[in-house]
Amino acid sequence: MSEAHTLDQRDEKLREIRDELLSLTQSPLYEYRTQNNYFPVVGQGNHYATFMFIGEAPGKNEAQTGRPFCGAAGKILDKLLESVHIKREDVYITNIVKDRPQNNRDPEPEEIELYAPFLDRQIEIIRPKIIVTLGRFSMAYIMKRFGLEYELKPISVLHGTIHTSGSLVSFPVTIIPMYHPAASIYNTTTREQLFKDFQILKQFIET
């Protein structure tokens, strides 16, 4: 199968991921989702995006709507994108864990392990040039997944740094760890740092 033909199938392949997630009964979060009439939050945006933003797990607003980053953190992300003149509809936004953990707790390792293959497939389908990780969980997973575990440090050190993927993937990817927008809701210092870090993205905007 040619690459061109593969590209034509992106929408269909992403729909397959959505359908699989809807019926993922083996997830420890499935019962919690169905009890609360929540949706899995698969992802949203341009299936041909240059930039992919990867968070950690959906919050309540996201689970209620099935849309990533649509609550308070999403409003901050929107402003961050606007600050570097990137349209939200031009990027792809998703999370590692696709269902909401109870009480907005951190995702458990077994949950990341279960949902990560869906994220891997999304990356392979969309083939972004730039992956921006939002938060320490997505940073750790993506850095390891792309052969950069030797560069891993705390997010307080790595935020706003640029990394080139290793040889574990079929196409080159630039990875840029960032703080999660939620961490800046009540912390003006973190918010200022996020806006500063986002300026790095300007050099990767295609004209």
Report the Cα–Cα distance between both ends of the chain, in Å, rounded: 30
From the list 122, 82, 77, the residue with the least C-alpha distance to 98 is: 122
* Dihedral, CA of residue 134, residue 138, residue 139 and residue 144, to nearest 10: -160
Residues in contact with 2: Cβ distance below 8 Å, sequence separation at least 6, in sequence order: none
CB 96 within 8 A of CB 110: no
pLDDT for the residue numbered 12: 94
CATH of the domain at 130: 3.40.470.10
pLDDT for the residue numbered 1: 36
pLDDT for the residue numbered 165: 84
Question: What CA–CA distance (Å, rounded) separates 100 from 80?
Answer: 24
- On whether the pTM is more than 0.85, the answer is yes
Please write down the long-range contacts of 161-165, taking CB distance under 8 Å and 24 or more positions apart.
162/200
The parts of the chain modelled with pLDDT lower than 70 are: 1-8, 166-169, 207
From the list 116, 88, 121, 138, the residue with the least C-alpha distance to 14 is: 121
Residue with tokens 């169905």: 34
Q: Could you tell me the strand order of the sheet in which 51-55 lies?
A: 44-45, 92-95, 51-55, 130-134, 174-178, 163-164
Number of folded domains that form the chain:
1
Question: What CA–CA distance (Å, rounded) separates 46 from 119?
Answer: 15
Q: Which domain holds residue 116?
A: 3-39+47-204
Question: What CA–CA distance (Å, rounded) separates 155 from 100?
Answer: 23
pLDDT for the residue numbered 115: 97
Question: What CA–CA distance (Å, rounded) separates 141 from 136?
Answer: 9
